[in-house]
Amino acid sequence: MYVCICARVRESEVRSAISAGARDEFDVGEACGAGTGCGSCVERICGLIQDGKSPLARAS
Ligand code: FES
């Protein structure tokens, strides 16, 4: 499923960027381009970043 339509970036790619060390939407944008167009996906990207910080997300 695409998170970012503008850059055609899938959720799995955003999660990979976060796993590789992206800490905010700017890092994610640098890593895979997501969020660098219209900006409408930035809220979703921030949600994925928060998921990555959650102890429950790390445990699963
Ligand atoms: S949908 Fe991601 S920048 Fe437009």
Model pLDDT for residues 10-39, shown as the tens digit of each residue: 999 999 999 999 999 999 999 999 999 999
pLDDT band at 57 (very low <50, low <70, confident <90, very high): low
Q: Quick check: CB of 39 below 6 Å from ligand 1?
A: yes
* Average per-residue pLDDT for the chain: 92
- pLDDT tens-digit readout, 35-52: 999 999 999 999 999 998
Q: Quick check: CB of 57 below 6 Å from ligand 1?
A: no
> Which CATH number goes with the domain that contains 7?
1.10.10.1100
| Å from CA of 3 to ligand 1 middle | 8
| Ligand 1 atom closest to Cα of residue 6 | 4
Query: Which residue range forms the structural domain that includes residue 34?
Result: 2-59
User: Could you give the number of structural domains in the chain?
Assistant: 1
| Non-local CB neighbours of 28 within 8 Å, separated by 6+ positions | 14, 17, 18, 22, 34, 35, 45, 49
pLDDT of residue 52: 85
Q: Quick check: CB of 12 below 6 Å from ligand 1?
A: no
